[in-house]
A and B are shown apart, each in its own frame.
Chain A
């Protein structure tokens, strides 16, 4: 079975600092996609960033970037210049065809 593991239930970062959230996954597929979603207290999940497994270049979206290590099956999210609005649950997700899996989430706290 494909699994997605987020080993950090909680993380904390000082405003304006950088934080990295970890995610590892297990798959026997070669073609798949990885996502990071953010879920603020309002409950609505929002896409943060997406990575295609066949692309070696790490995806970047403004202050958010990933470190995708395909051989190690690792997909970490780096948030630079953290802002108070970044406080939320962050979920790592894997998809290949109809196989969609999410990690248990990391709760990020941003300290002013």
Chain B
């Protein structure tokens, strides 16, 4: 079946603009994760959705970052008033449920470049 789909694959925008990144998880997966991958760095956890529970937002770096997950499926990560340090690849992943032992299935990511 289809994997995790992210759009756009690349986004270039000017500093100060808002951006929206989209993630469409694997059908039936209740858990959804957002990560940020900066050049030469590992993955930095941003936010985690599990079913109808309140999301774990502990990884969001500032109040400029927010995420929603509508209807338990598609998620949107929004970055307001973008800064140059926001430039990174933003990866989304999903898993069947939120248990620790389950592997995460990743999308191809969105490469965000802030000019």
- Judge whether B40 is part of the interface by a CB distance below 8 angstroms: yes
- Would B42 and A102 count as touching, CB distance under 8 A? yes
**Nearest Cβ distance between residue B58 and chain A, in whole angstroms?**
8
B101 contact from A42, A50, A98, A105, Cβ within 8 A:
A50
Among residues of B, the one whose C-beta sits closest to the C-beta of A48 is B103
- Judge whether A19 is part of the interface by a CB distance below 8 angstroms: no
How many residues in B have their beta carbons less than 8 Å from beta carbons of A? 23
Q: Which residues of chain A (40-96) have a CB below 8 Å from chain B?
A: 42-47, 50, 52, 91, 93, 95-96
A103 contact from B42, B104, B106, Cβ within 8 A:
B42
- Would A104 and B40 count as touching, CB distance under 8 A? yes
- Would B45 and A101 count as touching, CB distance under 8 A? yes
Which residues from A are CB-within-8-Å of B109?
43-44
How many residues in A have their beta carbons less than 8 Å from beta carbons of B? 27
- Judge whether A108 is part of the interface by a CB distance below 8 angstroms: no
Among residues of B, the one whose C-beta sits closest to the C-beta of A46 is B106
- Judge whether B48 is part of the interface by a CB distance below 8 angstroms: yes
Which residues from B are CB-within-8-Å of A35?
103
- Would A44 and B56 count as touching, CB distance under 8 A? no
- Would A33 and B42 count as touching, CB distance under 8 A? no
**Nearest Cβ distance between residue A104 and chain B, in whole angstroms?**
4
- Would B42 and A45 count as touching, CB distance under 8 A? no
A43 CA to B110 CA, complexed, in Å: 10
- Judge whether A16 is part of the interface by a CB distance below 8 angstroms: no
State the B residues within 8 Å of A (CB): 3, 33, 35, 40-45, 48, 56, 58, 89, 91, 93, 100-101, 103-104, 106-109
State the A residues within 8 Å of B (CB): 4, 6, 31-33, 35, 37, 42-47, 50, 52, 91, 93, 95-98, 100-105
- In the assembled complex, 8 residue pairs joining A and B whose CB atoms fall closer than 8 Å, in A order, are A45-B106, A50-B103, A91-B43, A98-B56, A98-B58, A100-B45, A101-B45, A105-B42
